[in-house]
Structure 1
């Protein structure tokens, strides 16, 4: 089975394959931030820190143990989720700019810690051995990306997701309705951190080398740009935004020094002409239902109200 899957992967040009894998990893990372920022409304500028925790955890587990990659992937996500919940409990009492500054400070602390730890090889970084799995890494990345999309879709439409959206819209009203705001915020942070840790694990094993400097402030800005470009809270928008901005460095290679300037100009353009993002307000579940010829739940509810 592994050989047949590898033969399928070999049919794709290596350059195109790398872009596709980068898009898959970006989707997982952006979905994690979308849970925190888009669905729950908590602005985080430290998503790269959780990505680095997942990446280095996965690398150390691979180097020190003989766990299969599936267990490694799950363990990296769970450890990152635990760290996210532990950090989220005290800092999620803050809101707005204060929360953003706190998460930014946490990201810089994590980066400095990894730059000074012997287990992470300090500033030299770590060479990560190939994943212990019969399935090729590109296929693993896209399977995880698709599962992440399905998971976030179901989570958003669940009772838990509706509570998160209520907190985003009005915390006071949500608390008056009996929603435990602190608990839901921490759980949201843990879910987003879990996906960031999974994305970091995939990133480490695909590139085969990681360095703490790879997970700085600009990496967090990249991920946040993907979410904002597609539309805060929109799963379809997050997938679309991640796909565009993950492939953009290849198309903008001739002006790589001005890449962030292009991103900034694009976001300003969006704020003026499309404040909700490119696909803001579009429900991914509704798109799937329309594609298979069924009416979305929102359309059925509207019809019942009209009758």
Structure 2
């Protein structure tokens, strides 16, 4: 059995290594779709800690995504250098903060924001918690949209850009590189960076799920009163879930800002939060492989359906808007999947459904 697992892992690793080169044969656009899908996988894994493990419905998760993106945008662009003479005097060559500083800082700041969100919501459950977290996400977006006056910090709806491309040990991700005579474009560079982060995140989530903390989260999810009666500090465990999940969002935000080299508040709307929640629910709440499948499917589906919406729009002589038709097709696809697989595409295995049969002598 172990040999079979090793073979499966090796085949999967080989497939992931050659995937971008195969996709590039059809154009860089397909590699870009895979890159964005990997970013959503990272976000879905982080939200799965909050929703899947601890059972806390968070509809404002995109706020942590925005925190990480704007931190990198401010520390790796000329915006603060242009707006504040004191910063320009301190850094005459401009702010070009290294990635190895920004990622821990973004994770720390996003984690702190997660704890600040969790602190006033400790007594809330279900729909009430969802409404409060939804409001938190919208507050962050509105702040980013209006924090350009009287002091221009976020540049308001105009956004921040251009943002420096990411450098790792002197290797610039945003440039083409030649390896063994083969030219590798930036989209493939980012693919391997995002894939590495996803693999690290999967390992972290896997270890958390099987740790004492993960068991405590699942006990709170199943029955908070019983968990508290068993001696679990539900307050600290909830705050830890919010903070830990938020760190994933902060790191994903840094990757998004470096990848796009431009950010605006509209990229962090409520629709993004709902989409990330849908990825977790559609794939299978609390199950890492299911969450990954759900994120990949919902991230790639809108782009794939562009090729379906176009002919359908032509059949109606342009009476239907292509973007609206695409959203309708996504909604129909999700409804069909949830009707056929109500527990998700790849739900977690259920344990303890039946008690062991007593052995009679």
Task: State the TM-score, normalizing by the size of structure 1.
Answer: 0.85
Higher percent of residues as helix: 1
Q: Which moved more, 1:133-142 or 1:205-214?
A: 133-142
- Secondary structure, aligned partner of 2:286: coil
Please give the residue correspondences for 1:145-160 in structure 2 after superposition, counting only pairs within 5 Å. 145-160=198-213
Match of 2:99 among 27, 47, 69: 69
Q: CA deviation at 1:180?
A: 0.6
Secondary structure of 1:278's counterpart equals coil
- Please name the residue that 1:292 is paired with: none
Distance apart, 1:9 and its partner CA: 7.2
Out of 26, 36, 53, the residue aligned to residue 39 of structure 1 is 53
Contact 1:44 1:99 in 2 (8 A): yes
Paired residues for 1:68-147 under 5 Å: 68-117=98-147, 118-127=152-161, 128-133=163-168, 134=171, 136-147=189-200
Per-residue displacement from partner, 1:140-172 (whole Å, max 9, x unpaired)? 111111111111011111111011011000101
Q: Report what 1:181 is aligned to.
A: 234
User: Equivalent residue of 2:56, what SS?
Assistant: coil
Cα distance between partner residues in 2 of 1:172 and 1:140:
42
Give the alignment partner of residue 27 of structure 1, picking from 41, 54, 57: 41
Tell me whether 1:227 sits opposite 2:280 in the alignment: yes
Contact 2:302 2:326 in 1 (8 A): yes
Map of 1:206 onto structure 2: 259
Structure 1: gaps of 5 or more residues: 1-7, 284-297
* Contact 2:44–2:277 (Cα < 8 Å) also in 1: yes
Structure 1 residue 126: deviation in Å?
0.9
Cα drift, residue 224 of structure 1? 0.9
> Which residue is 2:348 aligned to?
281
Determine helix, strand or coil for the equivalent of 2:124: coil
Using the TM superposition, give the Cα deviation of residue 10 of structure 1 relative to its aligned residue in structure 2, in angstroms. Answer: 7.7
- The answer to whether the Cα contact below 8 Å between 1:131 and 1:137 also exists between their aligned partners in 2 is no
Supply the distance in 1 between the matched residues of 2:328 and 2:134 (Cα, whole angstroms): 21
Greater C-alpha Rg: 2
> How far did residue 16 of structure 1 move?
2.1
TM-score by length of 2: 0.73
Matched positions, count: 282
Higher mean C-alpha displacement, 35-44 vs 86-95: 86-95
Task: Report the CA distance between 1:72 and its aligned residue.
Answer: 1.1
1:256 to 289, 312, 323: 323
Alpha-carbon distance, 1:268 to partner: 3.3
Whether the aligned pair in 1 keeps the contact of 2:305 and 2:329 (CA below 8 Å) is no
- Corresponding residue number in structure 1 for 2:70: 56
Judged with a 3 Å threshold, the aligned counterparts in structure 2 of structure 1 residues 24 and 57 are, in CA distance, closer, same or farther, namely: same
CA contact (8 A) 1:43 1:96 kept: yes
Query: C-alpha separation between the residues in 2 aligned to 1:28 and 1:105?
Result: 23
- Which residue of the partner structure matches residue 315 of structure 2? none
SS of alignment partner, residue 167 of structure 2: coil
DSSP-derived class of the 1:143 partner? helix
Q: Deviations over 1:229-283 (max 9, x none)?
A: 1011110001001111111121112243234434433443344332210101149
Aligned partners of 1:225 and 1:263 also within 8 Å: no
